[in-house]
Amino acid sequence: MQGTRFRLFPQPQFLKDFSEPEIVLVSSVAGSLGPGPSDDRMYAIFPIGKTAPYGIAPDGSAVLTPAWQGQVEDPAYPDEYGNFDYLEPGTPQFETAHLFGTVRFVMDIWEGYFGREIPWQSDGTYDRVELTILPSLENAYSGFGFLEMGGDRSDGGYTPFSLNFDVIAHELGHAIIYSEVGVPDPENVTGEYFGFHESAADLVALLSSLHFNSLVDKLLEQTRGNLYTLNAASRIAELSENKQIRVAANDSRLSDFAKGWVKEHHLAQPLTGAFFDIFVDIFHEMLLDYGAISPELEELSDKLLATPEYATVMQAMFDEAFAANPAAFNLALVDARDILGTYLADTWKELKNVQLDFVEVADLFVEIDRRHTGGRFARLIRGNFDMRDIGYAKVGPQLQPLDKGSHANSVRTMVPMD
């Protein structure tokens, strides 16, 4: 049966290449979604009069939890065919539909990689998860029974996170990890667990964005397959034309944190960087399989990586190879995306230790490759973890108290026992 259509922005609409939303088809059977939108697992609302996000009330007098009991903006209704792609940007109804559609689209992707439905952490306590828009919130949270989207005011204006695919996907990544791996006790947890959490959320956002055909086309048009240039895929949660929260293609090593760490977002970078490098290397292997690049090009790429000569030498070679067979580059990128997504899902399904470190993640990822391919990618996987000092360096102590942007001691980790 036919799914349900939504219009989603693959990247923020203020970026000139993504100013118009793209029609996507999610798995919800046409006609099955109610106003909101809503279904049997979640519902989207735009509250009226909500002054504080979920969590500890500003005056400390209470814990604010879903469901919101106050007034809401008129919900988005499906059209006569059950779709929401008729809605126009600039209305509360488009925002709620964009938020719901993004969550459903990302869940479709990752439930495909997991091979099963991904439960909500709050199943058994709440019948459904609330997807809430709160413009006064200068952040975005994934918590027990809710996802709450604020916006960015750093440049004096207001850009809603409910229209930022990467931000929503990132928060959904946290929700997946809390459900699959577990919620730690903030008083008894490793810094690497929270670094792993941030890395996983970034990877969910990155790989999910590569399910937009327009973004894949733009990525290859920009880079000609040389993915180490700064591009739409490696920039996580773009906030402007030249600013993003984190970059997946980074040079961070675990040894950078041997003396200690302050922010888990920074501690995540060696792991995210290793996985991005693995993604690029698998992409190169797929290009070799399709005959789109020569073994000499692939070997030279490895040899020149992180050297001043890389950009000028490799870009010219990738330009020539891409021009000769652009279709193969597209196929190889999609293959690499789905291999990494499947491997990550299989890894996360088996990680049940909230005291984990990056070595445990790396070792299990290598084992997952052995099960799938007999270890075809083991050398490149292990090499990229080694290059990030994962397995060779120990993370030092936490050097400062966690700030309000941390996931520890925050609304994100609050559960009913709290």
Query: Are residues 53 and 98 located together in one domain of the fold?
Result: yes
Answer whether 270's CB lies under 8 Å from 279's CB.
no
Residue 9 belongs to what domain range? Answer: 4-180
Query: Are residues 158 and 264 located together in one domain of the fold?
Result: no
**Per the domain annotation, does 403 fall within a domain?**
no
Query: Are residues 41 and 136 located together in one domain of the fold?
Result: yes
Query: Are residues 147 and 257 located together in one domain of the fold?
Result: no
Supply the DSSP symbol for 138: S
Ranges assigned E (strand) in 161-294: 235-240, 243-247
Q: What pLDDT does residue 245 have?
A: 42
Q: What pLDDT does residue 247 have?
A: 63
Query: Are residues 83 and 195 located together in one domain of the fold?
Result: no
Q: What pLDDT does residue 81 have?
A: 96
Query: Are residues 172 and 247 located together in one domain of the fold?
Result: no
Query: Are residues 48 and 165 located together in one domain of the fold?
Result: yes
**Per the domain annotation, does 73 fall within a domain?**
yes
SS3 for 8? strand
Query: Are residues 201 and 329 located together in one domain of the fold?
Result: yes
C-alpha–C-alpha distance, residues 249 and 6, integer Å: 31
Give residue for tokens 């609409």: 13
Q: What pLDDT does residue 239 have?
A: 39
Q: What pLDDT does residue 409 have?
A: 57
**Per the domain annotation, does 408 fall within a domain?**
no
Structural domain total, the chain: 2
Query: Are residues 160 and 263 located together in one domain of the fold?
Result: no
Answer whether 336's CB lies under 8 Å from 290's CB.
no
CA angle (185 as vertex; 53, 133 as ends), nearest 5: 15
Answer whether 417's CB lies under 8 Å from 63's CB.
no
Query: Are residues 250 and 153 located together in one domain of the fold?
Result: no
Q: What pLDDT does residue 194 have?
A: 84
Q: In the listed set 145, 180, 215, which residue is the last one of a domain according to the structure?
A: 180
Supply the DSSP symbol for 70: S
**Per the domain annotation, does 412 fall within a domain?**
no
Give residue for tokens 């675990």: 254
Query: Are residues 88 and 205 located together in one domain of the fold?
Result: no
Q: What pLDDT does residue 241 have?
A: 39
Query: Are residues 85 and 142 located together in one domain of the fold?
Result: yes
Tens digits of pLDDT across the chain (418 residues) = 589 999 999 987 767 777 889 999 999 999 999 999 999 999 999 999 999 998 877 777 778 889 999 999 999 999 999 999 999 999 999 999 999 999 999 999 999 999 999 999 999 899 999 999 999 998 898 999 999 999 988 777 888 999 999 999 999 999 999 999 987 766 666 778 888 988 999 999 999 999 999 889 888 988 899 888 765 455 544 434 334 445 666 788 999 999 987 888 888 899 999 999 999 999 999 999 999 999 998 888 888 776 777 778 888 899 999 999 999 999 999 999 999 999 999 999 999 876 788 999 999 999 999 999 999 999 999 999 999 999 998 888 877 766 665 655 566 666 766 5
Answer whether 102's CB lies under 8 Å from 10's CB.
no
Domain of 167, CATH number, reads: 3.10.170.10
**Per the domain annotation, does 304 fall within a domain?**
yes
List CB contacts of 241: < 8 A, sequence separation 6 or more: 14, 15, 16
C-alpha–C-alpha distance, residues 402 and 406, integer Å: 6
Q: Tell me whether strands 42-45 and 129-133 are parallel, antiparallel or unpaired.
A: parallel
Q: How far apart are the first and last CA of the chain?
A: 43
Q: What pLDDT does residue 262 have?
A: 82
**Per the domain annotation, does 65 fall within a domain?**
yes
Q: In the listed set 133, 153, 180, which residue is the last one of a domain according to the structure?
A: 180
Q: What pLDDT does residue 399 have?
A: 78
* Closest by Cα among 145, 142, 144, 140 to 164: 140
**Per the domain annotation, does 260 fall within a domain?**
yes
**Per the domain annotation, does 399 fall within a domain?**
no
* Closest by Cα among 77, 80, 76, 81 to 2: 81
Q: In the listed set 133, 156, 180, which residue is the last one of a domain according to the structure?
A: 180
SS3 for 327? helix
Answer whether 214's CB lies under 8 Å from 10's CB.
yes
- Full-model pTM: 0.92
SS3 for 205? helix
* Closest by Cα among 9, 265, 41 to 161: 9
Answer whether 69's CB lies under 8 Å from 57's CB.
no
